[in-house]
Amino acid sequence: MQNYLNKLLFVSALALPVPLWAETASGDLSKIEAETMVLKARERQLDVQAKIIARQSEIASRQAETDRIVQSASPGNPVIMSIEGIGANVFATLRMENGTTVDVQAGETLSDGMKVISIKTNEVIIENAKKKRTRLATATHSTTAFDPRFPSSGLHLPPLAPPPSAKEN
């Protein structure tokens, strides 16, 4: 009988670690799965943060360009009302400080002695008697302050990118 009890204890001792080992393995797998989910969530969070930083950088560069345009509007300089024409026949309509408007081409001299150096589709460059060149501001920038919530039509912002859609099969 003693021998029988020893065998029974030995067999039961061998049988106990197997369920404990199985529980440990399933616990380890659950833990690894949970850690993987956390890492994937952190990766998505970093992607979103990178996109936010890229968008903020883009907005800041556009704001800097807008500020540069607004700062070029100084008292005494004409303001661009419109630019029209094709090729070498480009005209700009400028509003002078006294409120009058004048149509000019590159090379012409204004009544205040400033010379029109160049006219492009989005800018007019003038030069004063001291040879200092100035990029003129558009009328929309000189009459209103920039408000990022309500950008003016003179900003020429590109359209927003379409939202990411589900993969098409």
Position 86 scores a pLDDT of 83
Same domain, 82 and 40: no
User: Whole-angstrom Cα distance, residue 92 to residue 95?
Assistant: 10
The more confident residue out of 149 and 3 is 3
Same domain, 44 and 23: yes
CB 93 within 8 A of CB 102: yes
The more confident residue out of 80 and 76 is 80
Give me the residue label for tokens 């309509």.
93
The more confident residue out of 78 and 166 is 78
Beta bridge partners of 123: 120
The range of the structural domain enclosing residue 60 comes to 2-70
The more confident residue out of 128 and 67 is 128
Structure token digits, residue 17: 């670690």
Position 129 scores a pLDDT of 83
The count of structural domains within the chain is 2
User: Whole-angstrom Cα distance, residue 42 to residue 121?
Assistant: 46
Averaged pLDDT score across all residues of the chain: 75
Same domain, 57 and 81: no
User: Whole-angstrom Cα distance, residue 17 to residue 11?
Assistant: 11
Query: Per-residue pLDDT for 35 more than 90?
Result: yes
Same domain, 63 and 121: no
List pLDDT tens digits, range 78-100: 888 888 988 778 899 988 878 78
Give me the residue label for tokens 């002078």.
96
Structure token digits, residue 103: 């149509």
CATH number for the domain that contains residue 102: 2.30.30.830
Same domain, 96 and 59: no
User: Whole-angstrom Cα distance, residue 32 to residue 159?
Assistant: 44
What DSSP character marks residue 139?
H
Report the 10 Å Cβ neighbour count for 127: 16
List pLDDT tens digits, range 39-72: 999 999 999 999 999 999 889 888 877 666 555 5
What is the arithmetic mean of pLDDT over 107-121? 87
Position 163 scores a pLDDT of 64
Residue 93: inside a domain: yes
Nearest CA among 87, 121, 114, 117 for reference residue 105: 117
Same domain, 61 and 84: no
Q: Considering the chain, what percentage of its residues have pLDDT values greater than 90?
A: 19
Same domain, 17 and 41: yes
